[in-house]
Chains A and B, each alone.
Chain A
Amino acid sequence: MHEFDALLSPKTDRIYADSPDPAIRELALFLKSRPLSPFSRSIAVRMVDCGSSNDVELEEGLTNAPQVDCERFGIHFVASPRHADVLIASGPVSVNMKLALEKTYRAMSRPKAVVAAGDGACTGGLLAGAHGVYKSGRVEEVIPVDVKVAGNPPAPYELVLGMLKAGQILSKKRI
C-alpha cells in the first residue's frame, strides 16, 4: 500500500529493530535498552531557536506529525521554560539571541538538560565566523550542553532520540 493512500486514517510509523530507516533502528535499540528512571516516561521540552535557518524548528514541528507522534515516547513540548525539563536549542547562536538563550535556561528549574540540535548548534556549522554569530556559534559557549544531535537539519526521529537521551541524563543529575 502506498503511503499517501492511508491519509484519512493516518498511521504512525512502527518502531522496530530491522526497519529500513537507520534513525528508527537506532531509536528502537535505545527504547529496548532504556532503564526505568524517574524521567524516562515523560519529559517536558522547551525549544529555543538561537540562529538556525528555521530548518531544525520545522523538523521539530514535524515530530508532532501523526507519523512520528513524539508524545507516544513521552515527549511533550511546553510553552514556558518554567514547565520544562529539557531545553532543545538550535544554532549557531546569534549575538542578538545570546541573552534570550541565557534567560530561558535560567528560568528552568533543576534538574535540567540541554540538547544542541543541528550542526549549527553543535559546531557552529556553515556560518561560524559570520559577524552576527556569537563567538564560534556553539550553544556550549553560552550554556552547558548534555546531548548533541548532528545534521543539517537532523530528521524528526533523530531529534526524538536526542530528547529521550536528555531525559535519561536528567535522572542522573542532582536536584
Chain B
Amino acid sequence: MARPVHSFVCEIGRVCSKAELKASEQPSALWVGVKAQKLPDLCLACLQAGGVFDSAFTYPSSISSHWAAVYVFCVPKLSKPVVLFSHAKQFHSVSAQIPAAVWDERKMREISGADFIGLNDLRPIIIHPESAKFVTNPLRGAHAPGRRPSARERSAGHEEPAGHGSEYGFAGTGEEGEFQIPVGPVHAGIIEPGHFRFHVGGEPIHKLEVRLSFLHRGIEDFACGRPMDGVLPLIEQVSADESVANGVAYAQAVESLASIEVPRKAESLRLILLELERIYSHLADLGGMAMDVGYYASSSRFATLRENMMRLNGRVGGSRFLRGLVVVGGMARDMPEDSLRQIRTSLRLFSDSLAKTEDLTLSSSTFIDRAFSTGRVSPEVARRLSLVGPVARASGVPCDARKHFAYGAYRSNAVRESLGQGGDVFSRFMVKLGEVKESVRLIEHQLAQDIDGPVLSERRDLSKLPSGRMALGWTEAPRGSCMFLVRSANKGALGRLAIRTASWRNWIGIQEAVRGNITADFPLINKSFNLSYAGADL
C-alpha cells in the first residue's frame, strides 16, 4: 500500500478499532470494508479527511438476505475514489450529515427493501406508486433489485413506503399565503418529462421539489447477466448527449476489473470523441440560455454551430451521437486520416465563428441583465450537496475529473479547468464557453501529436474472469463527472451495474438554485444547468 493511501486509512480509521477495518487497494479505487454500525462515522471521517461524497449504491450481498451498501468518496489527494462498504440487513442513514446522499439512500432503500435508520424521506423515488401495478418484471428471484417487501416482511416491521398508492406528498414551507404551481411531466418545450412542484408566494419561489423517474426504464437491472463487453449499446441509451462519456466510463471500469491495457492510440481517439461530445453538448446549453432570455439572433447562431458539429460527428464517426465507437479494450475501429483532417479544418473555422457568436451574445445588455445574479449557487451549497461539473465550477469549486482524477489520455494532457466565481447563470454560461474553447485546444493538441498503433487491445477475453470482483470507472461528462460500479458474475457476465450520472447529483442543486428567484426565471436557470432527465432516471 502506497504511503499517502496508508496515512489516509490511518486518518479515517481513528473512529473505530483497527480490527474492524479491512482496506485493500486497487488500481481504480481504495476499498474499505467496515461494520454497518460504523459506516456513518467512517463516512464523516472520510469527509473530514478531504473526501467529497460521490455516490452510494447497493447490491445483493453473497450472504443470504443481506445487502451490500457502498458509499463512494472522491479524494483528490489520493487521485482516486475511496469506497466504504458494508454487508447487513439494515443500515444507518448518513443523509442527516451528508444531505447530498438523500436521493441515493431513497433509491437504495427502494431497491433493496432494507431499512435505513434515520432516513426521514421515505417516498418512493424509482417506480411511481400510481404506476406500480404495471411493473411486470422487477422480480428476478427474491434477491433481485426492484423487490418490494412481501406481506410477511411487512408485518415483521417493513412499512409500506409513504405515499404508496396515493399522492406523492409534496410539502411546502408552510408560509402563509403560499400556493403551488405544478409543472409537468409533459413540458411546453421539446424536452424530456419530469415534474416540478413550485411552492410560491406570489412571484418568488419559496421551494422547488423535483420529482423525476418518469423515464425510468431499468437499464442497470436490464444489463445484468449479459456479457460484460456486450452491454455498451445499452449504456449509450442512458443519455444520448453523454453517450461517449458514459461508454468510456463503463469501458474503463471493465478494463480496470480485467486488467486490460488500452492502446495509446485508442486513448487518444477517446479523448477526441469525449471533447467533440462536450462541444456539441455545451453548444446546446449556450444557445438555450440565449433563447430563454429571448435573444434569438444569438441562439440561432449557436444552433447553427451545433447542427454543424453534429453533422461533423456523423461524417467522422458514422453516428451523430458518436455511438458504437467505444468498446471494451479500445475502439471499434480506427479513424482514417481523412476524418482527422476534417476535424482539424472544421474546428479552425468553428473557433472563428464561436468567437463572433460570443461577441454578439456578450455585447447584449439584455442577456447580461437577465443572466447576471440569477439562480445563484453559493460555494458552500455546491460543496454541501456535492455538486459536480460546470455547475460546481461556476461557483468556484474545482471538481474536474479530467484534472483531479485523470484517466486515459488526460494523464498526459493537462486540462485547464475553467472556474467561475458568481455561481449564477452568467458564470455557468462563461464556464461552459471556456470549456468549449478548452475542448477545441485539447483536440487540436491531440491531433498534432500524431499517435499511431493498434486501437484495440489484443488481450480482452473476459470469460475467465472470477466472479464477485468489482471496479469503478469514471469520466468527466459534459454535465460533470459520472461514476460506474461494475461487479463481475461467472464467465464474463455482468453481475451488477450501478450508475451515478452528473444529472443525478445536480438535480438536488437546482432545487437550491431557484430559491428566492421569480418563477419566470426558472426556465433560464434550468437551461443553465441543462440536466438530463433520462440520465438521472436510468
Contact = CB atoms under 8 A, between A and B. Distances in A.
Nearest to B350: A4
A131 B218 contact: yes
Interface string B105-135: 0000000000000000000001110110011
Interface in A5-29: 5, 7-8, 10
A92 interface: yes
Nearest to A59: B320
A153 B321 contact: yes
A132 B240 contact: no
Interface string A136-175: 0000000000000000110110000000000000000000
B307 A68 contact: yes
Interface stretch (B3-11, B41-49, B190-198, B504-512): B190-198
B127 A132 contact: yes
26 contacts: A2-B349, A5-B349, A7-B356, A10-B301, A49-B193, A49-B533, A50-B193, A53-B238, A54-B533, A58-B241, A60-B190, A61-B284, A65-B304, A65-B306, A66-B304, A77-B190, A81-B186, A95-B134, A96-B216, A125-B237, A127-B234, A131-B136, A131-B138, A131-B218, A131-B221, A132-B126
Contacts of A48: 186, 193
A102 B218 CA distance: 21
A132 B534 CA distance: 12
B233 interface: yes
A42 interface: no
A79 B189 contact: yes
Contact of B304 (A10, A57, A152): A10
Given A95-B127, A132-B217, A152-B323, A54 B304 contact: no
Given A97-B193, A104-B186, A64 B137 contact: no
What 5 pairs across the A-B complex have the smallest Cβ distances? A55-B240, A4-B349, A79-B188, A130-B222, A7-B353
Given A66-B307, A77-B190, 15 more contacts: A7-B305, A50-B193, A51-B217, A52-B215, A53-B239, A54-B239, A58-B241, A79-B188, A96-B215, A97-B214, A100-B214, A130-B219, A130-B222, A131-B137, A135-B136
Given A54-B532, A133-B218, A100 B185 contact: yes
A96 B353 contact: no
A94 B215 contact: yes
A10 to B, nearest CB: 5
Given A97-B214, A100-B186, A152-B323, A66 B303 contact: yes
Interface residues of A, number: 54
Given A2-B345, A51-B215, A132-B216, A61 B190 contact: yes
A8 B240 contact: no
Contact of B127 (A62, A77, A96, A130): A96
A114 interface: no
A10 B308 CA distance: 11
Contacts of A126: 233-234, 237
A132 B185 contact: no
Contact of B135 (A57, A61, A125, A132): A132
Contact of A65 (B192, B219, B237, B307): B307
Nearest to B354: A7
Interface of A: 2-5, 7-8, 10, 47-55, 57-62, 64-68, 77, 79-81, 92, 94-100, 104, 125-127, 129-135, 152-153, 155-156
Given A97-B185, A134-B134, A55 B321 contact: yes
B446 interface: no
Contacts of B241: 54-55, 58
Given A4-B346, A98-B131, A62 B214 contact: no
Contact of B130 (A54, A65, A99, A129): A99
A148 to B, nearest CB: 19
A10 B214 CA distance: 37
A3 B347 CA distance: 11
A60 B303 CA distance: 12
A10 B287 CA distance: 15
A98 B412 CA distance: 48
B143 interface: no
Contacts of A55: 240-241, 321
B39 to A, nearest CB: 28
B310 interface: yes
B403 to A, nearest CB: 27
B13 interface: no
Contact of B303 (A57, A64, A99): A64
Contacts of B128: 95-96
Interface string B200-230: 0000000000000111111101100000000
A131 B215 contact: no
A152 B240 CA distance: 10
A49 B216 CA distance: 12
B311 A3 contact: yes
B192 A49 contact: yes
B241 to A, nearest CB: 6
Given A60-B190, A97-B193, A132 B218 contact: yes
Contacts of B137: 129-131
A94 B185 CA distance: 13
